[in-house]
Amino acid sequence: MSVIEAFAPLQTSASVLNDVHSGLNRTRVAEVARPATIAAARSLIANRAQARQPLAMMGARHSMGGQQFLSDGMVVDTAALNRIETFDDQRGPVVVEAGIRWPALLDWLQRNPANRGHWTVRQKQTGGDDFSLGGSIAANVHGRGLGLAPLVDDIEWIEVIDAQGRRRQLSREQEAERFGLVVGGYGLFGLISRVCLRLIPDQTLEREVSLVRAADLMTKFDQAMARGCRYGDFQFAVDPESPDFLDMGILSCYRPVPGNPTERPLAMGSAGFRHLLHLAHVDKSRAFAEYADYYLSSNGQRYPLVAQHSGVYLDGYHVDIDHALGHCGSEMISELYVPRPEFARFMGLAAESLRQHRADPIYGTVRLIERDAVTALAWAREPWACIVFNLHIEHRGNGPLEAAAAFRGLIDCALDCGGSFYLTYHRWARPEQLEAAHPTLRAVLARKRELDPHGIFQSDWYRHLQRCL
Ligand SMILES: Cc1cc2nc3c(=O)[nH]c(=O)nc-3n(C[C@H](O)[C@H](O)[C@H](O)COP(=O)(O)OP(=O)(O)OC[C@H]3O[C@@H](n4cnc5c(N)ncnc54)[C@H](O)[C@@H]3O)c2cc1C
């Protein structure tokens, strides 16, 4: 360790924090610490461990159940741990500090003369870009891959600072159990300081677009994979008044092809997105029709793989919607999983439940996931269909309570189909829903108490789980 590293500045301040998307997790914290180097982060954690004082870690603040916050406690902001350390231009792996965000890494890969865009990431979130790698690993995220397991499959090794302030390198071969606890462990097993991420060669992908009904979707996905498609998703209609509700959707799949991408391929810019988001709040059927027209017109266009991963996310977009419509709200996401043969039945149950709860869906997507056999709190316990709902929530009056009931209703539908739900979003699941959907949760929390007996790594979400279970 160099002298500069050892004495790198550690900035701290008290703050009120909130999550970026829903804005429903306003949290007063005693201190936000921003270590400038991994060495500074390590001495911070070692000092906290010695004093037996807890802390939480935050990346880009997109999770929505208080996983990254600690009321009246310390939150470590990993944003300055963002260096790219080594890159193997023959095999692809890149070693980065885990506070780096995807856009910085993708941009570097695009511009680096040793790479010139040749190697790129295999998957990342597609609903937005500005996520940290640490936060992505802690939730074990996924993109819209066909035939892919979650992000854990793309990780060669990680370096972690544990609850005693020690650095450990973890992989499938080295401390495999701890590796499986940290990945998908929501920051409860240590601060991920470095990651060695596997990359794949960039490819040109041709987009194939069609309108499909829910009953046919799984067959259509199978056929797309048999044709060689590697990515794909299904954006479904969200107007509860329409007979197409949660049934008709736009299937877009991406197949590797030789040659270059289309010159200036169709892409929806921020203005188009803003327009559609507004429309989805006031005229959902028209929003779907316009979106379908746009997508169908892009059938056959060729995109670089990196463009397929990237999604437009308009920071603070709801302020304009609130202003125009007299709302005071935001969207909240939930992701449900069901065995693929149960998918169409699930969509029927979900449509009924959302109508009953008078929910206000803004958009929804279906993807596929393959089984994760590595992580302890694996959400991809089977090869599942993943169904994402973004519901509008009015923050005034009973809005949050009504939304919580609608989300619990969706979890019941998934459980009825033998499925599960993603822990990264709200914390509105009932205790019995948590246990049914995440059968390893109790054992994982018990192991956490063994490895971190003084509870150094905590969060409001962890405290909530302790109260529930
Ligand atoms: C609009 C939107 C779209 C999304 N799309 C997708 C999607 O397509 N696919 C998907 O899988 N998910 C998706 N998500 C969920 C998102 O990927 C997760 O919530 C992810 O954890 C957010 O990363 P972050 O950097 O914002 O982490 P944060 O929200 O800041 O933190 C998340 C968790 O990671 C922990 N953490 C952060 N950094 C570290 C670290 N260095 N070491 C240890 N723990 C750490 C935190 O303590 C916390 O438990 C989406 C969320 C939103 C709001």
Per-residue pLDDT tens over the stretch 279-319: 999 999 999 999 999 999 999 999 999 888 887 788 889 99
pLDDT of residue 5: 35
Determine the residue of 38, 63, 189, 333 to mutate for testing ligand 1's pocket, defined as the one with the most ligand atoms within 8 A of the Cβ atom.
Answer: 63
Residues 6+ apart with CB under 8 A from 217: 234, 249, 251, 343, 344, 366
Mean pLDDT of the chain: 95
pLDDT of residue 11: 63
pLDDT of residue 114: 86
Burial 112-137 (b: 16+ CB within 10 A, else e): beebeeebbbbbbbbbbbbbbbbbbb
Contact 332, 410 (CB under 8 A): no
Set out the domains of the chain in order of their start, with CATH numbers: 3-79+445-468 (3.30.43.10), 84-201 (3.30.465.10), 204-437 (3.30.70.2520)
pLDDT of residue 41: 98
The answer, as to whether pTM is greater than 0.75, is: yes
- State the closest ligand 1 atom to the C-alpha of 19, by its place in the atom list counted from 1: 29
pLDDT of residue 10: 64
pLDDT of residue 6: 36
pLDDT of residue 7: 38
Residue type at 438 in one-letter notation: H
pLDDT of residue 9: 52
pLDDT of residue 199: 97
pLDDT of residue 4: 33
DSSP 258-319: SSPPPSS-----HHHHHHHHHHHHH-HHHHHHHHHHHHHHTTT-EEEHHHHH-----TTHHH
pLDDT along the chain (469 residues), means of 10: 40 84 95 97 98 98 98 97 96 96 95 86 95 98 98 98 98 98 98 98 96 98 98 98 98 97 89 94 98 97 90 88 93 98 98 98 98 98 98 96 98 98 97 98 98 98 97
Residue pLDDT, tens place only, 226-250: 999 999 999 999 999 999 999 999 9
pLDDT of residue 2: 34
Alpha-carbon span 64 to 68, nearest angstrom: 9
Residue pLDDT, tens place only, 316-335: 899 999 999 999 999 999 99
Alpha-carbon span 344 to 413, nearest angstrom: 12
As for ligand 1, residues whose beta carbon falls within 6 Å of it are 21, 56-63, 67-68, 78, 98, 125-128, 131-132, 134-136, 138-139, 141-142, 186-187, 191-192, 313, 333, 424, 459
Determine the residue of 22, 55, 57, 445 to mutate for testing ligand 1's pocket, defined as the one with the most ligand atoms within 8 A of the Cβ atom.
Answer: 57
424 Cα–ligand 1 center, Å: 7
Residue pLDDT, tens place only, 356-387: 999 999 999 999 999 999 999 999 999 999 99
Determine the residue of 68, 317, 370, 388 to mutate for testing ligand 1's pocket, defined as the one with the most ligand atoms within 8 A of the Cβ atom.
Answer: 68
pLDDT of residue 3: 32
